[in-house]
Amino acid sequence: MVKLPMNNIFSIKFLVADLIKNNKKMREGYIAANWTKIVDNLSEYSKIYYLTDDTLHIKVNSPTILHYMRMNSDIYIDKINTLFVSLMNPVIDSPPKNNYINSEICYNKSAETLNTDILQSNDYINIKKLNFLLDKNIK
């Protein structure tokens, strides 16, 4: 077994959060993967089209659904932003118990530093507006 230096221990969730933070397509994919959680049963009639800096563009298949979703857009914006905040602020797990870590302080300091960095930079995921487009081809 190879011994690795353990001065910077990060969880997979931190790495995924950082990847989503730095890649617009990953943010779109994360929203699309959680679309059912955001809009519940309306996910059958709508889909993510694309994401700009602070606007999420959504395709909807009927005028009735478009109107309903537009009326509830504030709720959807809150759900999306809450989803990103929970991704960017994961709970710090206890350090792994093995022979390669010299102290818990090393783990906690690196995790706190990373957590603080994510907390200070979460303004990039602030969705402020939803733009709805009518597309009859959505199933």
Q: Exposure string (b/e) for 1-16, b if CB count within 10 Å is 16 or more?
A: eeeeebeebeeeebee
Contacts for 98 with CB less than 8 Å, ≥ 6 apart: none
Q: What is the DSSP letter of 98?
A: S
Tell me the mean pLDDT in the region 5-13.
Answer: 60
pLDDT at 25 over 70: yes
pLDDT (0 to 100) of residue 91 = 55
Chain-wide mean pLDDT for the chain? 75
pLDDT in tens, 99-128: 444 444 444 444 444 444 444 444 457 889
Nearest to 77 by CA among 138, 13, 12, 127: 127
Mean pLDDT of all residues in 38-66: 93
Q: How far is CA 111 from CA 27, 28, 82, 115, 125, in A?
A: 23, 27, 22, 6, 21
User: Is residue 97 very low, low, confident or very high in pLDDT (cuts 50, 70, 90)?
Assistant: low
Give 38 or 124, the one with higher predicted confidence: 38
